[in-house]
Structure 1
Amino acid sequence: MTTMLVIADAFLSAATPGRVRQTCWLARRGLEQVVDRLVVARAEGMEDASMTSKLVALQVLYVHTRIPALAWHSWHALSRACHQHAYELSPTYAEVRGWLEDVHELAAEAYAAEQV
């Protein structure tokens, strides 16, 4: 687990309405750190690739795992939640908690994949 995910957990535990969206920023950065570790571990030269490129690369690098789908869904859900839209409600505490749990699951899957 990354330090950013620990901070996101603590931030959400003390959540006020404004902190829910801020937790999304922290969780997304934690997710990006996990994705960076996964991609760089198996594909040299992708350190400076965009996050979208790294998410696509996961589909090839971890083809028989849940990692690509979990990373893709989590990153897009958190990215959408990070930005306020006039016509949408802010994400709920439960939604953010679910996304954060998905990121923790991805971090655990990533750790397991590194051990193989």
Structure 2
Amino acid sequence: MTLPSDVQDRLTCVANLLARPDQLDGVRIRCCAELLRTAVERSVARACGAENADQPVHALLIALPSHVDSDVAQDASQLWHALRRAIRHHGYELTPNVAELAGWHAETAAVAAALSSPLSPIPSPNLSLSGTIDPS
């Protein structure tokens, strides 16, 4: 499964920065988290069919379970919130470390791949007029 170029470019950029962990300071780590966050946002927007819309990400995350598997939607939501916290941390909080960033990179790649795969429709049961499930 190939990812959209804008998402893949962000993942590649972060991977290149992760290849030189000694050069990652607080600012670069936050920049990497921002790149990963936007990759998640673009993947979520595509999965919801809102690629060019200016819809808030919170609204898209709420709508996401109706477009993809609920576990994938939950993973995307948790990852987006973690990345958002990493970008907007306060001075008294610890800056995310390189290991956390590497984990977020792997999770972003997995979530983006899961969001880009089509959802197979779940068959609905046939209900008879008596209210029982028809096995056919």
Bin the TM-score by the shorter chain. Answer: 0.7 to 0.9
Q: What is the aligned partner in structure 1 of residue 97 from structure 2?
A: 92
1:14 matched to 2:23: no
For 2:74 and 2:16, the matched residues in 1 are separated by 26
RMSD (Å), alpha carbons? 2.3
Q: What is the aligned partner in structure 2 of residue 25 from structure 1?
A: 34
TM-score in terms of structure 1 length: 0.83
Code of the aligned partner of 1:49? Q
Deviates more, 1:16-25 or 1:28-37: 16-25
Deviates more, 1:11-20 or 1:21-30: 11-20
For 1:32 and 1:45, the matched residues in 2 are separated by 10
Among the aligned pairs, what percent are the same residue?
29
For 2:20 and 2:38, the matched residues in 1 are separated by 19
- Extract unaligned runs of 5+ from structure 2: 122-136
Deviation at 1:30, TM superposition (A): 1.0
Q: Quick check: which has more Rg, 1 or 2?
A: 2
The verdict on how the C-alpha distance between 1:114 and 1:5 changes in structure 2, with shifts beyond 3 A counting, is: farther
Deviation at 1:48, TM superposition (A): 2.1
Code of the aligned partner of 1:67? V
Q: What is the aligned partner in structure 1 of residue 11 from structure 2?
A: 5
The verdict on how the C-alpha distance between 1:58 and 1:96 changes in structure 2, with shifts beyond 3 A counting, is: same
1:55 matched to 2:61: yes
Code of the aligned partner of 1:69? Q
For 2:94 and 2:85, the matched residues in 1 are separated by 12
Deviation at 1:111, TM superposition (A): 2.5
Q: What is the aligned partner in structure 2 of residue 105 from structure 1?
A: 110
Aligned residues: 112
- Give the alignment partner of residue 35 of structure 1, picking from 38, 41, 44: 44
